[in-house]
Amino acid sequence: MEDPFDYGAPRSCESADQVAWVHAIMQDAYLFAADVPAVEPADYETPADLVAAMRVPPDRWSRVSDKARTNALFKDGMIIGLGFHTRRDAAGRLVVSWVTPDSNADRAGMRRGDVMDEIGGLTIAQIDGDDRWGEIYGANEPGVEVPVRYVRESDGSVQDAVIVKDWLEIETVPVDDVFEQDGHTVGYLLFATFVDTAAARLDDTFEAFRDAGVHDVIVDLRYNGGGRVKIARQLVDLLVGNVADGEISYSVEYGPGLADQDERHPVSRRRGSVVDPGRIVFITSGSTLSASELVINAVRPHVDVRVVGGSTGGKPVGSHQWEFCDKILQPITFKLSNADGYGDYFDGLAADCIAGDDLMMQLGDPREAGLAAALHVATTGACLPPPPERALMPDDDGVHAEPPPVHAEIEGLRGFF
DSSP per residue over 158-195, as a string?
EEEEEEE-EEEE--SS-EEEEEEETTEEEEEEE---B-
Tell me what percent of the residues of the chain surpass a pLDDT of 70. Answer: 93
Closest C-alpha to 226, from 280, 300, 296: 296
Closest C-alpha to 290, from 371, 231, 359, 340: 231
Q: How far apart are CA 40 and CA 50, in angstroms?
A: 9
Average pLDDT score over residue span 346-361: 96
pLDDT on residue 98: 94
268 & 216 share domain: yes
Q: CATH code at 312?
A: 3.90.226.10
242 & 352 share domain: yes
223 & 160 share domain: no
Closest C-alpha to 332, from 213, 415, 414, 211: 415
305 & 412 share domain: yes
Give domain status of residue 148, yes or no.
yes
141 & 251 share domain: no
CA dihedral 138, 141, 147, 151 (to 10 degrees): 100
Q: How far apart are CA 372 and CA 381, in angstroms?
A: 13
Residues 279-307 pLDDT 10s: 999 999 999 999 999 999 999 999 999 99
85 & 47 share domain: no
pLDDT on residue 257: 87
Tell me the β-bridge partners of 167.
Answer: 80
363 & 238 share domain: yes
Domain with 404, as residue range(s), is 175-416
Give domain status of residue 231, yes or no.
yes
Query: In a 3-state reduction of DSSP, which class is residue 400?
Result: coil
Query: In a 3-state reduction of DSSP, which class is residue 333?
Result: strand
More reliable by pLDDT, 75 or 404: 75
pLDDT on residue 1: 60
Rg from Cα positions in the chain: 22
Give domain status of residue 5, yes or no.
no
Whether 412 shows a pLDDT value over 90: the answer reads no
pLDDT on residue 393: 67
Terminus-to-terminus CA distance in the chain, angstroms?
26
Give domain status of residue 91, yes or no.
yes
341 & 217 share domain: yes
Q: What's this model's pTM, rounded to 2 decimal places?
A: 0.91
397 & 314 share domain: yes
Q: CATH code at 138?
A: 2.30.42.10
End position of a domain, from candidates 169, 190, 209 = 169
Residues 198-215 pLDDT 10s: 999 999 999 999 999 999
pLDDT band of 405, cuts 50, 70, 90: very low
Give domain status of residue 9, yes or no.
no
Give domain status of residue 21, yes or no.
yes
| Number of domains present in the structure of the chain | 3
End position of a domain, from candidates 71, 88, 117 = 71
Give domain status of residue 2, yes or no.
no
